[in-house]
Amino acid sequence: MALQALQSSGVAFRKILSHFPEELSLAFAYGSGVYRQAGPSADQKNTMLDFVFTVDDPVAWHSKNLKKNQSHYSFLKILGPRIITLVQNNYGAGVYYNPLIMCDGRLIKYGVISTSILIEDLLNWNNLYIAGRLQKPVKIVALNENVTLRSALDKNLKSAVTAAFLMLPESFSEEELFIEIAGLSYSGDFRMVLGEDKKKVLNIVKPNVEHFRELYGSILQENPQVVYKTQQGQLEQQISHIMDPPGKNRDVEETLLQLAHDLDCGEVVRLGLSSIVRPSSMRQSTKGIFTAGMKKSVVYSSLKLQKMWKGWLSKTS
């Protein structure tokens, strides 16, 4: 199963996890602190480690985390775990981030999301925020036996492949496919204009083609829509295999397959992705001012702008 390629037994990541309440349905590390990226994020040692913790009961989890790690929270800690959970679930993309935390000698950022909200995003791309993170290689540090969650994680990867196919010609390379997949959750993201390195997608994919191959290889080999020539790293779409999916309650993948009959399907998909990502990313960034606090927000934003500036300098030099 493609999901198996996500899993990791990193000792350092598990040690960091030991500082938090144990009740996690999923925990993963992602970003340039985990997988080497080209450009300004190339120095992994000094890069902040990014984590996402998925929890079944956010109120109970935040209650325990406030006792263990109260200093991680902004002024919202005064309002207690129920208000923190309310802010987490109902604003932005359903995730609550605590950035710029020192843990085991490393600077980390961690986000907390409800299991049910993550499953909805994985299946329906409501926000394409954490679902988008999981379309790229990550290090899974903890994953319980929740069958629904595991199935949704796998479905998210298959939907990402289907969406990318619709934006590609009949014949294309692995790298072209992975660039499309990695770019899905950045479509319309305002941070790609202000704050994020504009070459970010390319910088993610180029050094990590092998990791993308591990993540998507089995899906591509089993997909009837494409002939996957693994030795040459080339793929050819088989348009005749695209059919109308049955049923009214369609998930993302089935909806995308039906779009394949539209001659402008690639542009339709891009516009659709932008309409999801743009408002989601803006709301989540605004929410970060309250969840991180003003001081941390200023520091975190300045680090992002420095990275963008380095990317611009490397491009012009």
B/e letters for 2-12, b = 16+ CB within 10 Å, e = fewer, are bbebbeeeeee
CA 132 centroid distance within chain? 3
d(CA 95, CA 85) in angstroms, rounded, equals 9
pLDDT value of position 269: 82
Confidence band, pLDDT 50/70/90 cuts, at residue 9 = very low
| Residue that wins the pLDDT comparison between 153 and 244 | 153
Model pLDDT for residues 39-57, shown as the tens digit of each residue:
765 555 668 899 999 999 9
Model pLDDT for residues 56-73, shown as the tens digit of each residue:
999 999 999 999 999 999
Mean pLDDT of 103-116: 95
pLDDT value of position 272: 85
pLDDT value of position 72: 96
pLDDT value of position 84: 96
pTM summary value: 0.83
Of 67, 100, 79, 20, nearest to 292 by C-alpha is: 100
d(CA 255, CA 83) in angstroms, rounded, equals 36
